[in-house]
A and B are shown apart, each in its own frame.
Chain A
Amino acid sequence: AQKITQTQPGMFVQEKEAVTLDCTYDTSDQSYGLFWYKQPSSGEMIFLIYQGSYDEQNATEGRYSLNFQKARKSANLVISASQLGDSAMYFCAMREGLQGAQKLVFGQGTRLTINP
């Protein structure tokens, strides 16, 4: 069963608009971590933001914020004031357990295109 689901294969957004990338997850663990990565056309994986399952506040990092809705098992990435350089592939990932188990399970990715 898919543990991380990203339902938007592609998104097109006008520059300076906010954009929300969807991510839902499935786990029976109480302790887990959620990550978002950006992959530009050059191919490297760039870590953007992290949310722990016990964190009560939504994580924020500059223009990135994570809309964490635990009961709905969703961890959407919000990018405010999008820029042309935000055009990339975005992956949601989960790490189950806080100790020892370190496998990251990835979603299928969402390709974001920012139009000028």
Chain B
Amino acid sequence: EAQVTQNPRYLITVTGKKLTVTCSQNMNHEYMSWYRQDPGLGLRQIYYSMNVEVTDKGDVPEGYKVSRKEKRNFPLILESPSPNQTSLYFCASSFTPPPPGDTQYFGPGTRLTVL
């Protein structure tokens, strides 16, 4: 089954404790991206990757790191989480370039709470 998986799905942590949210896709997609969703703001892009070893900042990259060492994996790293990073996080992937009408495939989301 074609899918994007994220782990963990739910996480409660404390300020300053490093964490990693994993993302993996089995569709051989070149493009992968991380979004965060906050009430009243929709989804905003954090980082994206066009292919292995190629990453770039999105609209809200502060406080986050990513890496793309393998095509299928795109982990999101919070080196020192803060309460303002409490959010719902989505990983997404697609082909490059995307076929007309082809959407990005979203993971199930990771709900992160930073106390």
A residues sitting closer than 8 Å to B (CB atoms) are 4, 9, 33, 35, 43-45, 47, 50, 52, 91, 93, 95, 98-100, 102-104, 106-109
- Which residue of A35, A52, A102, A106 is within 8 Å of B97 (Cβ)? A102
Contact B103 A47 (CB under 8 A): yes
In the bound complex, residues from chain A placing their C-beta under 8 Å from that of B35 are 104, 106
Count of residues in B whose CB is under 8 Å from the partner chain: 26
What are 27 A-B contacts defined by CB distance under 8 Å? Answer: A4-B42, A33-B100, A33-B101, A43-B88, A43-B108, A43-B111, A44-B109, A45-B106, A45-B109, A47-B103, A50-B101, A52-B100, A52-B101, A91-B43, A100-B96, A102-B48, A102-B96, A103-B48, A103-B58, A104-B33, A104-B35, A106-B35, A106-B42, A106-B44, A107-B42, A108-B40, A108-B41
Q: Contact at B98–A102, with CB atoms within 8 Å?
A: yes
Indicate which residue in B33, B41, B100, B109 contacts A103 across the interface (CB closer than 8 Å): B33
B13 interface residue (CB < 8 Å to A): no
B interface, CB within 8 angstroms of A:
31, 33, 35, 40-45, 48, 58, 88, 90, 92, 94, 96-98, 100-101, 103-104, 106, 108-109, 111
Given known A47-B103, A98-B100, contact A103–B108 (CB-CB < 8 A): no
The distance from the CB of A92 to the nearest CB of chain B, in whole angstroms, is 9
Residues of B within 8 A of A95 (CB): 98
Q: How far is the CB of B8 from chain A (nearest CB, A)?
A: 13
Check A106–B98 contact: CB distance below 8 A: no
